[in-house]
Amino acid sequence: MAFPQTHRSVVLAIRSASPDERARALDVLVEAYWRPVFRHVRARWRQDDEDARDLAQGFFAAALEKEWLAKFDPERGKFRTYLLTCLDGFVAKERRAGRRLKRGGDAAFVPLETTGEDGETRELPLPDGTDLEAQFRREWARSLFSLAVESLRARCASMGKDVAFTLFERYDIDGAEASDRPSYAQLAAEHDLPVTQVTNHLHWARRELRAAVLQKLREITASEAEFRSEARALLGVEAP
């Protein structure tokens, strides 16, 4: 049955007294949040790839060192929102200090400001319609689904169900990106399988993917209420 198993929240584990457990928890959080953080720094703070990477890395290092993530209070909101607030605070501070974490204080940021005709300095506007929080949420969803796909790949390999993953990858991932998705019949012919077996494999893989997404989600949320709310945002019936 593809029902999510209860997993210990790494958001809570990051407060553990055990250094090993803390390190493992941070690894999981970095894995889930690296790309959303990197892309947010690039978009919100308009950094090039290299500087955004440095800032993202610096942020996680500082979060561990200063125990920001351990200070998260599940009663006060979502971890994702909290992390974004910490991140923006960190980058703003770095920006004020006029330095980057790894590369010394001589490096320059991509300018975020411009000087008007009156000589006043103004922040450059973001492109019209940019909703940075929505963008961060989408990158977070992308990261979570990418991780779930990797979990599914590993699970299929361990169960000797490589065909199921191959079919899933062809139909549901590559096929979704392509303009001409292969039909079930085409996939059946390619793999010398009856069509019903192709659809059964796909049903199974989707069910497992769903379970993997929810399992990852449970890991990176702090409470049952947050898990449900985020699950609704990702898969459910309510708007995030």
Per CB under 8 A, does 231 bind another protein? yes
Using the contact rule CB under 8 A, the part of the chain among 44-52, 105-113, 186-194, 226-234 near another protein is: 226-234
The distance of closest approach from Cβ of residue 203 to another protein in the complex, given in angstroms and rounded to an integer, is: 4
Residue 104's region, left for phi above 0, alpha for psi from -120 to 50, else beta, is: left
Residue of 63, 164, 213, 220 that binds another protein (CB under 8 A): 213
**Polymer length of the chain:** 240
22 or 218: CB nearest another protein: 218
Contact string 175-194 vs another protein (x = CB under 8 A): -xx-----------------
Per CB under 8 A, does 173 bind another protein? yes
CA gyration radius, the chain: 21
Residue of 48, 50, 150, 190 that binds another protein (CB under 8 A): 150
Per CB under 8 A, does 142 bind another protein? yes
| Long-range contacts of the stretch 83-92 (C-beta < 8 A, 24+) | 83/33, 83/37, 84/40, 84/133, 84/136, 86/59, 87/37, 87/40, 87/41, 87/59, 88/44, 90/55, 90/58, 90/59, 90/62, 90/63, 91/41, 91/44, 91/45, 91/55, 91/59
Residue of 25, 29, 84, 211 that binds another protein (CB under 8 A): 211
15 or 228: CB nearest another protein: 228
Handedness of CA 193, 196, 198, 200 (dihedral sign): negative
Per CB under 8 A, contacts with another protein among 109-138 are: 138
Per CB under 8 A, does 92 bind another protein? no
